Structure 1
C-alpha cells in the first residue's frame, strides 16, 4: 500500500509540474451551452465546457483546436443530455454546480474540500485546487475512454468505451490496467477472468514491483512502465513528429483501442496504430445470439443472427441482439404443434456456458443428444466433445476453424399434427 501511495504521489507531482500553460478559472465563473460555453486552455487546443450531444448538450473536455470537437473526457457520461437553459457555476462556496432553469442544482464532481480555483491545461487536463493550491480533483485521474500525452492509466484504473463517437455514454468494452501488470480488455459486464479477455499485453509482474502504468508521450510513444520507471513493453515505438501534431489513445466503441494523431488543420483524427487488426476480436461486439464475420467493407465486420433468429426491435449493428423467430413450447408438452431440427453454424466459437459435456464420436450424435434433451437449445461440438448449452449464446465470431461446429435447435411448425387435428374435428 505504501508503494502504491508513493507511486500515485510521484505521478500526480509529475503531471502538475510537466504540463504546459494553463488558464485560471476563478470562483464565480459560469458557462452556458448557448453563451460562453467553454473555458479554453491558453493555446486554445483544449477546452472544458458544453458540447453538442444529439438535441441537447453534455459537459466535458474536448479538443477545441480542430474543426470537429473531439471529446476526451465526459462528466456524468450516463446522464441524459442537458437542455440549453442550464448554467454551470464555479460557485463562491467552492462547488462545481449545474443549475437548471427552475434552480435545481446538481454537482458535477465530488471533492473532499471546497474548490478554490480551477485550471484548464494545454495538455487537456482540467484541474480543481484547494485554498493551498493543492490538486483535489483532475480529469486525468478520472478518465472515461481516452488518455492524452502525460496522462497515463495507473494500476487498477480502467477506460470504458463510449456507445459511439457522438454518444459518450458507457459502451460495451473496458480496458483495464490490472494490478498484476497486465493490460487487458474485457466486455464491460464480464468477469475479470482469462476466458473473457480478448486482448492482453502479457506482461505479468512478480513480487512487489507490480505497479505498472500505461503511458503516452507527446511523440506517440505508447508503453507500459513499472514503478521504478523501467519500460516493460513498447506498444508503439514513438519518435513521431511533434511539430503541430498531437496524439491521443482511445478505446473505441467497437472495443479496439487505437492511437490517433491529429493536426490543427485536420477535421478528424487519423488512426496510426490499433491493438488488433481483427475487427471481430472484441468479445460481444455483435450482441447475443449473433456472431461476427470479418468482411472487406469499410466497416470491416458484419453481424449475423443464428439460424431461426432475427434482430430484435431496433437492434444496432454493434449491440443489437437476435431473438427466436419461431414459437416455443414447454418441453413437457405432449400435444404441441412444434417440432425441432438442428441447424449447423460451422467455423464459429462462442462463450462456453455449457451445462453438460458428453464425449461423442461425431457431430451427428451430438445433434441427436441435443434434440433428445428437453432443455438443450444449442450444442458445441469439437474434438469429440459435445457441450450442451442454453440460450442466449454470447461472444460469437466466425473463424477459419472447421473443427468447431455450433448446433442450434430450431423450431418448425409440424404440418402433420395440424392436419391430423383438422381431420379429428367433428362439425355438428
Structure 2
C-alpha cells in the first residue's frame, strides 16, 4: 500500500512540475461551444481540450492540433451519442465541467473529488484540474481511454480499451490490461474473462501489484515496478526526441502499437513497434460464428458455412444463420439437417460432450446429426470429436492445424406423395398470374418515370456545368475538366513558381483561388506534331485511371498550341528528393512500405485498369510523395495503351538510362516486363538507400545491380545496408525480388502480380540467377 502511495505521489509531482512550466490557465466561468471557441489549447499549441467532430455531431476530449489521423488522445463519456452544435461546455463556479444543451439539460463531463478553482491543458497532453493550492485534483492521464502519451504511465489495475474505429471513439472490442499481478495482457473486451482468452501477454506476472507501463520521450516503452526496477523493455528507446510526438495506442484491430510523428517533416505516423504482426491474432475480431483468415498480411473475416453477416459494414457483429432452425428430429425417414465443414480452423472450445473413440470425420458428423443438442463439432485427426453449441467464437484459420469445424445446417426436405386435386391447384396459379402481371405493369411504369427523371437530371446538370464554365474550381466527382490558357495563367501567377521538369515539360505550382486547392500544372513543351499525340494519350489514359498510388489528373488545357495538364499537388516532391538526400532519411519500414505501394500502382496499370498500360519510365523522379509520404506514380505521357492486336512497342527508346530494360536497346518487343525491370532497379535503390549508379563509391560497388548480386551470392547482404538495423529475412526477400525483376530475359521476370505476392511474403521465392546469366541465349 505504501509503495502505491509513493508511486502516485511521484507521478503527481512530475505532472505538477510540468504544469508550472508555461501552462495555459482556464478560469472558473469559462465555456466552449462546438462552433465558436471550441477548445482550450496548451501553451505549445500542440494539444487541445474541447469539442472535436465525430460522426454527425461532436464529442469532448483531448486531441492533437493540426496533425492528420490519430489525433484523439482521450474522450469523455466515450459511449454517449455525439452532441449537437447547440451545446455549451461550462466550467462552473463550483469547479465542475458540465455539458449543457440549448434546452437546459445537463450532463457531467468531469466531477473532481474536491472543489476545482482552475484548469489547464498541459504541453504533455494531460488535461488537469487544480484546487486553490494549485494541487492537481483530477487529470485525464489517470483515466486513459485507448492511448497513452510520452511521459505517461498506465498504472496497475487500469486498462486501455480500443475504439470502434479511427473515426468513432466509442468503446471497441479489445482491451489492454495492466493487471495487478504485474502482467500486461491483451484480451477481447468481454464480460467474463478467462486466462485462455488472452492473445498477448508480457509474461511479467508475479512481479508485484504496483507495476506500470510507461512511455518515455525517446520511444522507450517499458514495465516498471514501484522500486524503479525495469521488468521488461518492449522497446529499447534511444530515438530522436526533438519535434517528435509519440503515443502508444490499442488500435481498433486489437493490436497495440507505438507510433511517432515528426512535426517538422509534417509526414505520416510511423509504427515503431507493435504487439503482433499477425492481424488475425486478436480474438473476436470477426465476431460470433465468424473466423479470421490472412490474405496478403491483411485480416479478412468469413462466416461459417450456412451463416451470413449480421451487419455488412461491421464484422465485429458476427454472423447469423441463413436458414430457419427447425426441429432436428427425423420425420418419415428424412433428415432435416446436413453437416458442412470448414477445415484448418481453430475456435474457443466450449464442448458439452467429448467423444474420444470416433475414428473418422464422417463418424463425428453422424454423431452430431443424431444429437439434437449438438449444433457444431470440432474434429481433430486422431479421432477426437468435441460437440458444441452455437455460437462459436474466436475463430481463425490456421493452415498448419488439421482441425475441422463441422457445422449443422438446414436442408430443404423433399415433399413425397403430396397429391393435390387439380381444381384446387389452378386457383392459386391464376391468382399468382394476376399478381405477377400487375407487378410487371407497375414496374414498367416506374421504369419509364425513373428514366424520364434521370434524363432531366442529367440535362440539368449539363446546363449547370455549362453555365459555370467560368468557375475554375475543381470537382473531384467528375472527369478531368477543361481549362482555358488564361485560367491556368491566373492559377500559376504567370507560371511563376517552378516545381520541376517532367518528361515532356515543366511543372508549375498553381492555386485554385475559390477552392483554396493547390495543384501542379504541367506545361508540355514538345513540338506540336509529337506533343499532340502525347497530349491525347495522357488525357485518354489518365482520365480513366484512378488508384491511390497513381497521381490523379484533375484537368487539362487544349487551347490553340498550348497543351497543359493539371494534376493533384504532391507536397513532398518526388521519391528521389527524399531517398537520395541525407537530410531526409527514410527508415527501413518506410522504404519497404513504399516499395509495396509502388508495386500496387504498377499492377493496377498492367492488369486492373480499363486498358493495359505500360508506363515505360518507372524511376524515383516519376514517383511523387503526398503529405503522408504515400507514393504515387506520375507521368503517363510515355504510357502506351495496348490494343488487342498490339503487344509490342518498336518506337524510339523510352525511359531513363539506368532504369530502362535491355530489350529497348535490342529492338525487341517491349511488354509490361519492361516496367518490371525498372521497378526492380527502384526496389534495390529503396532497399540499399542509394542510387543505382554512383561513381563516388568504390568501383565494385558503383553499379548497384552488380554489387547486390555479388553480396547475395556471397551471403553478405548486410553490406548493402551498412550501419542500419533491418529484418534479415525481409532484406533477403526484397533483394531476391529485385534480382528476379532485373533479369535480362523478359520472359524470366515475374509479373507485377507475382512481384507483389513475393514482396508481401505470401509466396516462396526461388534463388534468382545472375541478372546477366541468360544474355548469351538472347
After TM superposition, the score normalised by the length of structure 2 is: 0.52
8 Å contact kept, 1:303–1:317: no
> Unpaired runs of 5+ in structure 1?
none
Q: Deviations over 1:10-43 (max 9, x none)?
A: 2222332246542111111111100011100001
State how 1:46-85 maps to structure 2 within 5 Å. 46-67=47-68, 70-85=71-86
Q: Distance in 2 between matches of 1:295 and 1:305?
A: 15
* 1:69-108 deviations in Å (ceiling 9; x for gaps): 7000000100000101111111122211111111222110
- 1:17-416 map, 5 Å: 17-18=17-18, 21-67=22-68, 70-206=71-207, 209-264=208-263, 265-266=265-266, 268-296=268-296, 300-312=298-310, 314-332=311-329, 334=331, 339-359=336-356, 360-382=358-380, 383-415=382-414
1 or 2, which has the higher helix percentage? 2
The 1:337–1:29 alpha-carbon spacing in structure 2 relative to 1, beyond 3 Å, is farther
Quote how far apart the aligned CAs of 1:142 are. Answer: 0.4
Name the SS for the 2:209 alignment partner.
Answer: coil
- Most deviating of 102-111 and 334-343: 334-343
Is structure 2 residue 422 aligned with structure 1 residue 423? no
Work out the CA distance in 2 between the residues paired with 1:398 and 1:68: 31
CA positional deviation for 1:340: 1.5
For the aligned residues, what is the CA RMSD? 2.0
Counterparts of 2:154 and 2:388, CA distance in 1: 38
Q: State how far apart, in whole Å, the 1-side matches of 2:70 and 2:295 are.
A: 30
Structure number having the greater strand percentage = 1
Tell me, in whole angstroms, the C-alpha distance in 1 between the residues paired with 2:394 and 2:112: 39
Whether the 8 Å contact between 2:113 and 2:138 is mirrored in structure 1 is: no
Query: 1:192 Cα shift?
Result: 3.3
Distance 2:105 2:235 in 1: 47
Q: Which moved more, 1:365-374 or 1:45-54?
A: 365-374
| Worse-superposed segment, 77-86 or 209-218 | 209-218
Structure 1 residue 151 displacement after superposition? 1.1
Tell me the distance in 1 between the aligned counterparts of 2:69 and 2:249: 17
Equivalent pair of 1:338/1:413 in contact (CA under 8 Å): no
Distance 1:39 1:14 in 2: 22
Instruction: Give the deviation of 1:68 after TM superposition.
Output: 5.1
Given that 2:330 and 2:336 are in contact with CA atoms closer than 8 Å, whether structure 1 keeps it comes out as: no
Q: Report the Cα distance in structure 2 between the residues aligned to 1:251 and 1:26, rounded to whole angstroms.
A: 34
- Distance change (3 Å), C-alpha of 1:44 and 1:188: same
CA contact (8 A) 1:145 1:162 kept: yes
Distance 2:22 2:366 in 1: 70
Partners of 1:15 and 1:361 in 2: CA distance = 65
SS of equivalent to 1:108: strand
Deviation at 1:310, TM superposition (A): 1.1
Residues 247-286 of structure 1 deviation map (CA, whole Å, 9 limit, x = unaligned) = 0000000000001111225364222211000000000000
Q: Work out whether residues 44 and 65 of structure 1, in 8 Å CA contact, stay in contact via their aligned partners in 2.
A: no
Deviation at 1:410, TM superposition (A): 1.5
2:606 is aligned to: none
State how far apart, in whole Å, the 1-side matches of 2:169 and 2:348 are.
Answer: 28
1:168 aligned counterpart, secondary structure: coil
Is the Cα–Cα contact under 8 Å of residues 329 and 336 in structure 2 kept in the other structure? no
Structure 2 stretches of 5 or more lacking a match? 425-778
- In 1, distance between residues paired with 2:421 and 2:11? 82
Is contact 1:350–1:397 with CA below 8 Å preserved after alignment? yes
SS in 2 for 1:413: coil
Q: 1 CA distance for matches of 2:137 and 2:257?
A: 30
Compared CA separation, residues 333 and 101, structure 1 to 2 (3 A): farther
What TM-score, normalized by structure 1, do the two folds share?
A: 0.93
Deviation at 1:361, TM superposition (A): 2.5
| TM superposition shift of 1:127 | 0.2
Partner of 2:320, secondary structure, is strand
Relative to structure 1, is the Cα distance of residues 425 and 390 closer, same or farther in structure 2, using a 3 angstrom cutoff?
A: farther
Give yes or no for contact 2:119–2:128 (8 Å, CA) kept in 1: yes
How far off is 1:351 after superposition?
0.9
Q: Give the match for residue 13 of structure 1.
A: 13
Counterparts in 2 of 1:73 and 1:267: CA distance versus 1, 3 Å: farther
**Structure with greater contact order relative to length (CA < 8 Å, sep ≥ 6):** 1
Query: What is the rounded CA distance, in whole Å, between the counterparts of 1:140 and 1:336 in structure 2?
Result: 67
Contact (CA 8 Å) 2:214, 2:224: kept in 1 or not? yes
- The 3-state SS of whatever aligns with 1:423 is coil
Deviation at 1:114, TM superposition (A): 1.8
